[in-house]
Structure 1
Amino acid sequence: MKFPEGFVWGAASSGPQSEGNFNKIHQNVFDYWYATEPGEFFQGVGPDLTSNFYNDYPNDLQLMKKAGIKALRLSIQWSRLIQDFETGTVNQAGADFYRRLFATMKATGIEPYVTLFHFDMPADLQHQYGGWQSKHVVSLFEKYAKEAFKLYGNQINHWFTFNEPKVILDGQYLYQFHYPKIVDGPSAVQVAFNINLASAKAIAAFHQINTNVGATIGMILNLTPAYAASEKPCDKEAARIAELWTNDLFLQPAIRGTFPSSLVDLLKSDHVLWNATGAELDLIANNQIDELGVNYYHPFRVEAPDVSPKSLQDWMPDIYFKEYQMPGRIENVDRGWEIYPKALYDIAISIKERFGNIPWFVSENGMGVSREDRFMDDYGMVHDDYRIDFMHDHLVELFRGIKAGSNCHGYFAWTAIDNWSWKNAYRNRYGLIRNNIHTQEKTLKKSAYWFNQLSHQNILPPTNFKLP
């Protein structure tokens, strides 16, 4: 299976999961949450050090190069770059760090793909204004984005406004796995609109400021088709609504500039539709993404809810659908996620047929397991054949989608080096490169050698890959 010429082989990470808090002048919400409730985090491990990328990046990038990583998706931390959120004044130390980092990446031969927001709302803005519930924060994000474009426009060819906005809704405003752990369905609806608005404002600013010919701006969405548990009409209706909420709520505004009319009608009939002005809707309509990043890990299977949505209950999106666990599924038991590679083919075809075949790439895909040391040999090498199998099987389906005409131009593994994963900390390891978090010694896993061959030959290696 030979991938198209110029296909990009990369890896993904984020600032708050890799840099550590060195020389940061503001806390983000995870810094604050760990400072106030450290017991919420696996084994009490917080974001202070993470993978020490702030200090180790020259050596880390050399290791990534040995793993065949030719592009790295990472993020700027709002709380590191900006000194004064209200004015958008830059913190010079933070600005200098990212400039050095991007220059070193280029010198190493690793192309930066830069995301502006990766779950890391500054804690001050969360506490003072309610974070993404506030349109004032949307305006402050626009100021931050403008400064980033001015500072690094000559270094960066690929920009992205947000990473996985649906996780912001789920974690912070619906299901309590990210701070501030609010359960408020109507607020989540408003947050969804405000994030779409913030993305559009950043895109407008990019086109106003950017002078780097050929540079693009996009959005990173975690996508999966909503699969009905059966052919029953009630299950298929649950899947239809789940698709609207889970995927199209961000996908359609980003690509078409409009919200799904049937979702708008549903939210309006439930009296939970967002507050929006005509000018804001026009802004979204006139500022679409150039390329799409797709994060995919597991399928989303749904069935009809046990209780009718007409029942007297607080509004939540899942009054219309219930998550369904497929009997006999193959599962990453450590994470509780079904492994279903075919969804990547279905995503490829959906983008082609429903969204104008926009240029896109797989911006995250990977498998993390617990207690990975159990697969280490006497020489310290982690033999992560399960990760090789996972990537191989997903790439087979992606290849099928490309052959069917889907406009996919890259695949980024999650992640390059084992990194800190929010409240799960280092419970599950996802890296092609192992990180001993006690010594910060970093070594290539077997999957890194497999990925290196894949990257340099542009041909899918077999799963029974032999180390050189």
Structure 2
Amino acid sequence: MKFEDKDFLWGAASSAAQIEGAYDIDGKSLTVADLIPYIKLKNKKDLSEIRSLGKEDFLDGLNPNSTKTYPKRLGNDFYNRYKEDIKLMKDAGMNIYRLSVSWARIFPNGDEEVPNEAGLAFYERVFKECRKQNMEIMVTLSHFDFPYPILEKYNGLLNRKVIEMFVKYAKTLIERFSKYVKYWLPFNELNICLMHTHIGLGFFSEKTNNHMDIIRKSFQGLHHLFIVQAEIIKFAKKYPDIKVGCMVSDMTTYSYDCNPINVLNNLKQEQIRKWFFFDVMVRGEYPRYSKRFFKENNIEFTIAEGDMELLKNNPIDFISFSYYQTHTTSVTENVGQSQGNLIDGGINPYLKQTEWGWQIDPVGLRYELNQLWDRYQLPLFISENGIGAIEKLDKNMTVEDDYRIEYYREHFLQINEAIKDGVNVFGYTMWTSIDLVSGSTSEFDKRYGIVYVDYDDYHNGTGDRFLKKSYHWFKEFMRTKELK
């Protein structure tokens, strides 16, 4: 089958915290990601030990004598090997690279008067290399790596001062790099912030058995996040060639059965976990269903004068989202739980799972693309999609990852079907091209790339890159656009 759209953008995505390394080079401060320790899982489908980490566990990372391993400080050495990695992407036929900038490299403490020139110079080298390879660039400004000094001194986005700091950071990058970067995303998977405040909103949550306590507190930070995004969009209007979108973690769920009680419950869950975020950023107002949710759960937050006008007048230009899996929901049945991208959900008996319990649902991607297009009529971009697996190089110095080829082929087929459905989806960046440190588990051995990197969970290895079978498959697909 031939892929329909000849102008479609194909590429890869990554985050600074998971690839760069060089955590203490050229003035960079520690980020919250740098404080996340590696924990060897006894059961890959049980992340409870990781999710139970508290403030004291993260702060142990400030101890120079800590014996723990911190993989995100080392990444895959992109800081020194970016030219090689970008060339590998280009040689595979990719024409866009979605990456993030580390705020801690530009304003290490968040509140400096002037930016760190060494950090700006590094990203300028990276962007120039991408443009040299004729690749478009999509930049995420904050990808789960708030500078630790902002958590320590300001308590993150709970503090309105951080709005000014983030907007200053964004303006600095747009002014400097608008000639290279066309697409901008202020925050990564911003709906994750209600569950994981330290990476999403820049403050540590107190341990509690009632997660609603955290959510109540988080909505103030989330409101400030929406204001940051609107301020960035307002500023970006000075640059007619750039577009500012959003990046939301797709949380598509299905009712476990056709019991109307479960169908209604599923609707309510999707409203709060997914549609709420899009509705605010597209329509510029808090949706009617959220008013009841706020009232019934005693959620109150301060809205300053002018905030709602700012949101209303500065909607996003396009929608991007990550898509890894779907779940089921039920209140009448005892449905087993399946893992996911920082969240869990009910098992779907019709779907296969990865080694980490992530349910694979290519058809769900077409379903979600249709839903988003029908609801918002904004251009769509799939900013993350991929499969992690334990892999070792074979005697031919490659990986026979047929499961990854099948995964991508089936998802590409469904994107093609969505385009035939009349959906305006203009691009896709896989997660990811080059093996990196896992965001959820901080493992290196949980490999997502179509290029193998010779590092293990403890950063043993040469760091050399080796092409997997999936790399050659993708390169051939890019040449022919045939989905074989």
Q: State the TM bucket, normalised to the shorter chain.
A: 0.7 to 0.9
What is the aligned partner in structure 2 of residue 254 from structure 1? 281
Check 1:279–1:167 CA distance in 2 against 1; reply closer, same or farther (3 A cut): same
Check 1:109–1:358 CA distance in 2 against 1; reply closer, same or farther (3 A cut): same
User: Partners of 2:292 and 2:184 in 1: how far apart?
Assistant: 33
Say if 2:18 and 2:75, in contact at 8 Å, map to a contact too: yes
- Opposite residue 367 of structure 1, the aligned amino acid is I
Report how far residue 116 of structure 1 moved: 0.7
What is the aligned partner in structure 2 of residue 198 from structure 1? 228
Check 1:46–1:93 CA distance in 2 against 1; reply closer, same or farther (3 A cut): same
Report how far residue 9 of structure 1 moved: 0.8
- Opposite residue 4 of structure 1, the aligned amino acid is D
User: Which stretch shifts more, 418-427 or 123-132?
Assistant: 418-427
User: Partners of 2:225 and 2:330 in 1: how far apart?
Assistant: 28
- The 5 Å alignment of 1:18-167 reads 18-20=19-21, 21=23, 22-34=25-37, 36-37=59-60, 44-83=69-108, 85-167=110-192
- 1:327 matched to 2:349? The reply is yes
Say if 1:254 and 1:288, in contact at 8 Å, map to a contact too: yes
- 1:344 matched to 2:365? The reply is yes
Check 1:26–1:173 CA distance in 2 against 1; reply closer, same or farther (3 A cut): closer
Say if 2:101 and 2:139, in contact at 8 Å, map to a contact too: yes
Say if 1:83 and 1:89, in contact at 8 Å, map to a contact too: no
- Opposite residue 386 of structure 1, the aligned amino acid is Y
Report how far residue 300 of structure 1 moved: 2.9
Check 1:201–1:221 CA distance in 2 against 1; reply closer, same or farther (3 A cut): same
Report how far residue 391 of structure 1 moved: 0.9
- The 5 Å alignment of 1:349-428 reads 349-355=370-376, 357-370=377-390, 372-373=391-392, 376-422=393-439, 423-428=441-446
Gaps of 5+ in 2: 38-57, 208-213, 335-342, 456-460
The match for 2:324 among 297, 300, 325 is 297
Check 1:380–1:45 CA distance in 2 against 1; reply closer, same or farther (3 A cut): farther
Check 1:277–1:44 CA distance in 2 against 1; reply closer, same or farther (3 A cut): same
- Opposite residue 448 of structure 2, the aligned amino acid is Y
Report how far residue 457 of structure 1 moved: 2.4
Q: How big is the alpha-carbon RMSD for the aligned residues of Structure 1 and Structure 2?
A: 2.6
- Opposite residue 261 of structure 1, the aligned amino acid is R
- 1:436 matched to 2:454? The reply is yes
Check 1:260–1:88 CA distance in 2 against 1; reply closer, same or farther (3 A cut): farther
Q: Counterpart of 2:428 in 1: which secondary structure?
A: strand
Q: Counterpart of 1:285 in 2: which secondary structure?
A: helix
Check 1:430–1:181 CA distance in 2 against 1; reply closer, same or farther (3 A cut): farther
User: Partners of 1:409 and 1:185 in 2: how far apart?
Assistant: 34
Say if 2:157 and 2:225, in contact at 8 Å, map to a contact too: yes
What is the aligned partner in structure 2 of residue 446 from structure 1? 469
Say if 1:68 and 1:448, in contact at 8 Å, map to a contact too: no
Say if 1:33 and 1:179, in contact at 8 Å, map to a contact too: no
User: Partners of 1:68 and 1:268 in 2: how far apart?
Assistant: 51
Report how far residue 432 of structure 1 moved: 1.1
Q: Counterpart of 2:35 in 1: which secondary structure?
A: helix
What is the aligned partner in structure 2 of residue 17 from structure 1? 18
Check 1:44–1:274 CA distance in 2 against 1; reply closer, same or farther (3 A cut): same
Report how far residue 109 of structure 1 moved: 2.3
Q: Counterpart of 1:237 in 2: which secondary structure?
A: helix
- Opposite residue 297 of structure 1, the aligned amino acid is Y
What is the aligned partner in structure 1 of residue 49 from structure 2? none
1:225-246: CA deviations, max 9, x gaps? Answer: 3311122222122211211111
What is the aligned partner in structure 1 of residue 258 from structure 2? 231
User: Partners of 1:243 and 1:193 in 2: how far apart?
Assistant: 19
1:344-373: CA deviations, max 9, x gaps? Answer: 111111112111x21111111100012x11
Report how far residue 419 of structure 1 moved: 0.8
- Opposite residue 9 of structure 1, the aligned amino acid is W
Gaps of 5+ in 1: 308-320, 463-468
User: Partners of 1:8 and 1:264 in 2: how far apart?
Assistant: 38
Report how far residue 343 of structure 1 moved: 1.1
Report how far residue 67 of structure 1 moved: 2.1
User: Which stretch shifts more, 182-191 or 250-259?
Assistant: 182-191
1:315-362: CA deviations, max 9, x gaps? Answer: xxxxxx993222353111x2211111111111111112111x211111
Report how far residue 278 of structure 1 moved: 4.2
User: Taking structure 1 as the reference length, what is the TM-score of the superposition?
Assistant: 0.87
User: Partners of 1:234 and 1:158 in 2: how far apart?
Assistant: 41
1:206-265: CA deviations, max 9, x gaps? Answer: 224x3xx42211111111433111222221222112111111121112222122211222
Say if 1:298 and 1:337, in contact at 8 Å, map to a contact too: yes
Report how far residue 51 of structure 1 moved: 0.9
- Opposite residue 396 of structure 2, the aligned amino acid is Y
Check 1:147–1:339 CA distance in 2 against 1; reply closer, same or farther (3 A cut): same
Report how far residue 181 of structure 1 moved: 5.2
The match for 2:243 among 200, 209, 216 is 216
Say if 2:29 and 2:109, in contact at 8 Å, map to a contact too: no
